[in-house]
Chains A and B, each alone.
Chain A
Amino acid sequence: MPILMVNNLTKIYESGMILRRYVEAVKNVSFTIEESEIVSLVGESGSGKTTTANIILRFIKPTSGEVIVEGKDIWNDIKTFEELKDYRKKVHAVFQDPFSSYNSFYPVDRVLYQVLELLGKNPRGSEGKELMEEALVNVGLEPKHILGKYPHQLSGGEKQRLMIARCWLIKPRLIIADEPVSMIDASTRGGIIKLFEKLKEEEKTSILFITHDMGLAYYISDKILIMYLGEIVEQGTPDEIISNPKHEYTKNLISSIPTLYKKWE
């Protein structure tokens, strides 16, 4: 059974009081993600990638369609707070901007404390401390250099690594990563990408990787979905998409990306 099933998802935004205008941000989108699979959602700005992510994360209610995570329809079957908490343990998000994920008045440890509290563990106890240190080591951070610091004392790459350290505490079944490296310096990006691969391999985590960077999607994914104007216009394995794009938008996109090892004619 797939971890995530998205069936005929549609989201229509309405605006205007008298003259109503409708924007179909997401149009009849369906896809599945299996266990330990990395699926990339690629598209330009405004193509509905983030809206799709927000619906799966239960931040925005869809107009129609269903999202099924491990057999449960997340918009109809989750009724109690306990069920919601359980859902939050199963599906976790890593966002684009590691700078605004932190409250600058608190030491960065707080983002890990909150996770431990969600898991019902005492962050100040010895078990909590051990778990935290283990998670930090897993994402390539030195615990004594990180704990107790304030957000402005860490670099963007370190902040994003710390956000991924939360995934090692929760061990979610599915991670929704919305442009997780687009604000990270190119020379540190590779390290973050490897962390996602490690989660996939060691914890069998499934990842929905949302990006506009075809190169990254090609490198990391098992399957690529191309989104254009709210619709999924094409899907396939990375090699299929790159060597034989079918939709006009995909063809145009792939021919525009500068390549490193070949020169344009």
Chain B
Amino acid sequence: MLMNIKKPLSLIDGKVKLHTNGKVMELDRLPREELQKNIWGKETSIIPQSAMNALMPTKKIKDSIMDVMRTHYDKIEEEEIIDRAQARFEEIGVSKDVIFRYPFELSGGMRQRAVIAVATLLNPRFLIADEPTSALDVSTQKMVLKTIQNLREKGIVKSIAFITHDIATVRQIAEILVVMYAGKIVEISPMEEIIREPLHPYTKGLLYSVVTPEPEVKKRGIYHIPGTPPNLMYPPPGCRFHPRCEYKLDICEKEEPQLKDINNRKVACFLY
């Protein structure tokens, strides 16, 4: 029986490839030690969802930074690191004295930006931002969003995957939108086009339920998607969205739609 216990988040199938410096690294094949030393923080990095609580409350920001450095380098000079970290903090618009503070001395927006600074210390090529603005109020949200945008403009990071449920926020910085429903990708499209004309019925419902203070919204009206997302232990057969879809066809209950190319967009729906 014990043999049947699998580690959580173990890879069942598929590949994760990272293109870097003209090389292709298969991340799913690398051992954990290798990942920790050479990939995490250096090549890829993450701003976690609850970044507000990602900092150890009993450590000064400076000590969290030293921790990150120690994992990557055997010999480090504390002063040099502090200088470098302070320069990075100033670059993203946070006072350099912040690194001598404890997390509880900082406001939510400051803490969020401190985490961003720590995550990007080693100039990772690829940054994953998991709901980085969802716990902040609107004016701080804008500040953090601008900070993330700056990271890319200054070339500190090259690419960003921004994970969010808030389309109006991500619309401000992303070029391509990938829409997921119940564990599957249903649509991939350039941002401007998907805002102008969403193709998948789920994308439509999602987009039209966003209310922002704009005259277009009043003209368009407000929508909602009936029902609730399925329990993924027992996903519905065929298209996973069919029980909630207003355009449902007979085939949707039986077959699973595959991603199909339409112009330069991709959509998984039998309507197209």
Chain A positions near chain B (C-beta within 8 angstroms): 44-45, 155, 157, 186-194, 212-219, 238-239, 242, 252-264
Contacts and interface: CB of A to CB of B under 8 A. Distances in A.
B185 interface: no
B138 A253 contact: yes
Nearest to B192: A263
B93 interface: no
B195 interface: yes
A187 B138 contact: no
B204 to A, nearest CB: 11
A263 B212 contact: no
Nearest to B191: A263
Given A259-B168, A263-B171, A264-B172, A191 B224 contact: yes
Contacts of B169: 258
Contact of A242 (B137, B208, B209, B213): B213
A212 B166 CA distance: 16
Contact of A190 (B165, B218, B222): B222
B213 A260 contact: no
A-B pairs, 10 with minimum CB distance: A190-B224, A218-B213, A191-B224, A215-B211, A258-B168, A190-B222, A187-B225, A215-B212, A256-B142, A256-B139
Contacts of B226: 191
A137 to B, nearest CB: 15
A215 B220 CA distance: 13
B222 to A, nearest CB: 4
Contacts of B210: 186, 215, 260
Contact of B212 (A44, A187, A258): A258
A238 B218 CA distance: 11
23 contacts: A157-B228, A186-B209, A186-B210, A187-B206, A190-B222, A191-B226, A193-B211, A214-B213, A215-B213, A215-B217, A216-B211, A218-B213, A219-B217, A239-B215, A257-B212, A258-B145, A258-B166, A260-B167, A260-B207, A260-B217, A261-B195, A263-B171, A263-B172
A158 B32 CA distance: 45
B216 interface: yes
B53 to A, nearest CB: 19
Question: Which of A192, A242, A256 has its CB near the most chain B CB atoms (within 10 A)?
Answer: A256
B243 interface: no
A263 B169 CA distance: 10
Contacts of B138: 214, 253, 256-257
Interface string B168-193: 11011000000000000000000000
B222 A258 contact: no
Contacts of A215: 210-213, 217
B205 interface: yes
Contacts of A255: 142
Nearest to B146: A264
B218 A219 contact: yes
Contacts of A216: 211
B224 A260 contact: no
